[in-house]
Homo-oligomer: A and B are copies of this chain.
Amino acid sequence: MSEYSELELSVRDYECDLQGVVNNAVYQNYLEHARHEYLKSHKVDFAALAKNGINLVVIRAELDYKGSLTSGDSFIVRTRFARKSRLKFLFIQEIHRQGDERTLLSAEITGTAVNTEGKPFIPNELTHLLE
């Protein structure tokens, strides 16, 4: 399994909802962005793949919310990438608040790739990351 990759981000005020904390759905934005940055740092470009008819898709997301980010918080998204099965890959991700290093979210995101016919496969670009 690969090493953790880390992405440092800060809460933007528009991401907070009427409870004054980052809205649940926004964490999926953070995680997606961290996955795409992880892939880009390994020469895999999500948008370029999509243009070529190869769509990386999420098929299952499990998210454990353990605490809330709020205005002014900075945080780290840790991302690890692994093979789950022949046609599925897995991102193991965590969000840690800067300062107290508390883990606020743990997530497992299962994905695959689909070609223009909608058939699942693992593209070559990803295969070597999964060995």
Binding site for B on A (CB under 8 A): 12-14, 16-20, 23-26, 28-29, 32-33, 36, 40, 45-47, 50-51, 55, 57-66, 68, 70-72
The minimal Cβ–Cβ distance linking A49 to chain B, given in whole angstroms, is 9
- Which B residues are in CB contact (< 8 Å) with A51? 20
The minimal Cβ–Cβ distance linking A91 to chain B, given in whole angstroms, is 12
CB–CB A71/B47 < 8 A: yes
The minimal Cβ–Cβ distance linking A41 to chain B, given in whole angstroms, is 13
> With the chains together, A66 CA to B50 CA distance in Å?
19
CB nearest to A47 among chain B residues: B71
Across the interface, A46 reaches (CB within 8 A) one of B13, B26, B29, B62, namely B13
CB–CB B50/A18 < 8 A: yes
CB–CB B60/A63 < 8 A: yes
> With the chains together, A33 CA to B9 CA distance in Å?
13
- Which B residues are in CB contact (< 8 Å) with A58? 24, 65
Q: 3 shortest A-B CB distances, which residue pairs?
A: A47-B71, A25-B28, A16-B18
Given contacts A24-B28, A28-B28, A29-B25, A13 and B61 within 8 Å (CB-CB): no
- Which B residues are in CB contact (< 8 Å) with A63? 60-62
CB–CB A13/B25 < 8 A: no
